[in-house]
């Protein structure tokens, strides 16, 4: 509800944090590789839910050139390795929603979601209380992942 009813900041989230490391949303950035950006989702489905975006402001994957695509896929690949080592998930949901009709919350800047998954991570809370339990504060997860990216 905070996302739905909250104030929507102008401009593209990814471009804002790429261009301005002092932007308040930049506190969720965990890695800035060449040609891409990795940041925690402010409203995660699970702990460690990240978004991996190209530095290029493009709304569709097919509009990225080969170099931009390679940078994006390298960032996604390394992100999975770091998440696997640091959070020990048993699987991942990895995907991109392109276009508003497909559920893209940021339709003008393509990005992939990588959501760590564990057996039993879906429980009764969303069904009974309409809440999702995330067991670690986002800023703690961000600090842990920043350290892991810098170490590997």
Q: Which of 29-38, 50-59, 81-90, 121-130 has the lowest mean pLDDT?
A: 121-130
pLDDT of 131? 55
pLDDT of 136? 78
Which residue numbers are catalytic? 111
Tell whether the torsion through CA atoms of 151, 28, 120 and 93 is positive or negative: negative
Structure tokens at 25: 């949303």
pLDDT of 127? 52
- pTM of the entire predicted model: 0.85
Q: Which of 44-48, 49-53, 135-139, 143-147 has the lowest mean pLDDT?
A: 135-139
Map out the domains of the chain with their CATH numbers.
2-147 (3.30.428.10)
**Range 88-113 average pLDDT:** 93
pLDDT of 20? 92
For residue 37, is pLDDT > 90?
Answer: yes
* Angle at 140 (CA atoms; ends 17, 24), nearest 5 degrees: 25
**Range 104-121 average pLDDT:** 92
**Range 44-50 average pLDDT:** 93
Question: For residues 93 and 115, is the Cβ–Cβ distance under 8 A?
Answer: yes
Give CA torsion, residues 112, 71, 138, 100, to 10 deg. -30
pLDDT of 146? 94
pLDDT of 60? 94
């Amino acid at each position: 509800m905070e996302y739905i009813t909250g104030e929507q900041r102008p401009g593209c989230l990814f471009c804002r944090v790429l261009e301005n490391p002092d932007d308040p949303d930049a506190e969720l950035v965990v890695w800035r590789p060449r040609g891409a950006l990795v940041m925690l989702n402010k409203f995660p489905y699970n702990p460690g839910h990240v978004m991996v975006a190209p530095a290029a402001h493009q709304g569709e994957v097919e509009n990225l050139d080969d170099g931009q695509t390679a940078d994006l896929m390298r960032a996604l690949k390394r992100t999975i390795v770091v998440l696997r080592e640091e959070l020990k998930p048993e699987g991942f949901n990895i995907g991109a929603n392109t276009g508003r009709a497909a559920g893209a919350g940021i339709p003008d800047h393509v990005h992939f979601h990588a959501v760590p998954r564990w057996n039993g991570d879906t429980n009764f809370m969303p069904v009974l209380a309409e809440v999702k339990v995330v067991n670690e504060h986002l800023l703690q997860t961000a600090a842990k992942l920043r350290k892991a990216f810098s170490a590997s």
